[in-house]
Amino acid sequence: MLNSAALGFVVLLSAVEAATNERVNYDYYKYHSMPEISKWMTQIAQNHSEVVTIMDYGQTYEKRNISLLKIGLSTGERKKAIWMDCGIHAREWIAPAFCQYFVSQILQTYKTDPKMEEMMKNMDFYVTPVLNVDGYLYSWKDNNTRLWRKNRSPGPPGCKCDGTDLNRNFDANWGTVGVSSDCCSNTYCGSDRVSEPEAQAVASFVGSRKEDILCFLTIHSYSQLLLIPYGNPNFIAPNQDELMEVGLAAAEAIKAVHGKIYKVGTSPAVLYANSGSSRDWARMQGIPFAYTFELRDNGTFGFELPENQIQPTCEEAYSGALHIVNYVHDKTFKGPMDGAGATAAAALWTVLLAVGVTSASM
């Protein structure tokens, strides 16, 4: 039996622990409503104020803020960056769950993992946990709205349906393939390219920083795929081979975690042709690495992935995303480390050593 003194001591310990515990008390393995996610973002920014700031970079149709977490060590200088967005499609709940997990992971590891610390020094991470805020909120409304995909802007005059497919709305071969002009369709591409405020927000923010952004990752579900540009089969990215190579390596990293197979390829090859995607737009802006992640599963539960799969899905996706981020970082800040790079480095050392020996013997 605890007596009151011992009980008091326990309470005191808890208070001390709470005060010093910078970790937000948050269950990353449950689905969270939009208000919960917003609150979490505020707490993360407060608890990690040395590396995290919230940036509101646009408004949805229903006039809600679209926000991201900017995460990185301040250097006072202009920095390169990684972009990640989740929840462009409302019903893909595992995607926002992953963005939150990703944030918690990098904040946890940068203090003890020299590699992550280095990446935080060299780059900023821009993470948007929920891009399609109106749609996500709508999918939480009741049992009848769970499978909503689009945003919530009204259809064109005379249309009895709402919503534009945000991932068909970007200015990237807009309206050419894999879209519908039927405003009731789930792939309705909008009244015009970038007609939607959510797409405009991304285009504006990323567009004004495109020279600095090394990598654009957009997170979706389901199908277990890593998709590379372009959705229109008539266009091939100049670095397609490299995108495939890095993607395949990321898929191997994913498989190593829980054995799940993610297929890699262009959308038209592996899934279907489409146009106006944010990934294609990013690549066309010159951002060299752009990937669409389609997370679990393969159709067993589809969009309604059980909460007991949130953790393993996030763990494997993190492994894949990290592989890409590592590659992109090292390529930018360390130069090519295989083949030519290593040989050149070795040659340089040989010359330096020879010069040193020659000098010493003089």
Partner 1 sequence: MATGELNPNHYPAQRAAKAVQHYLNTLYGSPYRVIFLNRVHSGYAEDVADSGRKYKLEITVQDHISNKTENCTAEVLFPGGEQQRPPQVQASLEELPTTDTKAEEEALFQKYKTNQGVLSEHLPDSHGHVDPDMEPFLHLGSAASSFIMLNESTENTLYNVAQVANVTQLKTENDQLKFDYYVLLHDMISQEIIHWKLLFTWSPQEGVKVLQMEKLPHSHHDETPQNNN
| Residues forming the active site | 294
Q: Are 178 and 168 in contact (CB under 8 A)?
A: yes
Residue 301 binds partner 1 (CB under 8 A) = yes
Q: How far is the CB of 134 from partner 1 (least distance, A)?
A: 14
Question: Among the candidate windows 199-207, 302-310, 313-321, 352-360, which touches partner 1 by CB under 8 A?
Answer: 302-310
Count the neighbouring beta carbons within 10 Å of the beta carbon of residue 302.
15
49-54 long-range CB contacts below 8 Å, 24 or more apart? 50/74, 51/107, 51/110, 51/120, 52/107
Q: Distance from CA of residue 120 to its chain's centroid?
A: 16
Is 223 near partner 1 (CB under 8 A)? yes
Q: Is the peptide bond before 230 cis (omega within 30 degrees of 0)?
A: yes
Measuring CA to CA, how many Å separate 317 from each of 20, 100, 109, 321? 30, 12, 16, 6
Nearer to partner 1, 67 or 309 (CB): 309
| Range 304-323, binding partner 1 (CB under 8 A) | 304-307, 309
Token code pair at residue 281? 């737009």
Determine which residue in the list 175, 207, 265, 312 makes contact with partner 1, applying CB under 8 A: 265
CB-count burial class (<10 Å; 0-12, 13-18, 19+) for 347: exposed
| Shortest distance (Å) from residue 29 CB to partner 1 | 11
Q: Does 59 bind partner 1 (CB under 8 A)?
A: no
Nearest distance from residue 124's CB to partner 1, in Å? Answer: 33
CB of 291 to partner 1, least distance (A): 16
Q: Specify the residue, 299 or 339, whose C-beta has the smaller distance to partner 1.
A: 299
Which one, 4 or 308, has the nearer CB to partner 1?
A: 308
- Residue numbers 125-164 binding partner 1 by CB under 8 A: 140, 143-149, 160-162
Whichever of 122 and 267 has its CB closer to partner 1, that residue is 267
Min CB(184)–partner 1 separation in Å: 4
Burial of 265 (0-12, 13-18, 19+ CB in 10 A): middle
How far apart (Å, rounded) are the C-alpha atoms in residues 238 and 176?
21
Q: How many residues does the chain have?
A: 362
Contact pattern for partner 1 over residues 167 through 206, marking x by CB under 8 A = -----------------xxxx-------------------
Closest CA to 91 of 186, 207, 226, 227: 186
Question: Is 261 near partner 1 (CB under 8 A)?
Answer: yes
Among 208, 298, 343, 350, binds partner 1 (CB under 8 A): 298
At position 349, the amino acid (one-letter code) is: W
Residue 33 Cβ vs partner 1, minimum distance, rounded to whole Å:
11
**104 binding partner 1? (CB under 8 A):** no
From residue 263, give the alpha-carbon distance in Å to each of 123, 197, 247, 269: 28, 32, 9, 11
Residue ranges that bind partner 1, judged by CB under 8 A: 30-31, 91, 140, 143-149, 160-162, 165, 184-187, 223, 261, 263, 265, 269-272, 298-307, 309
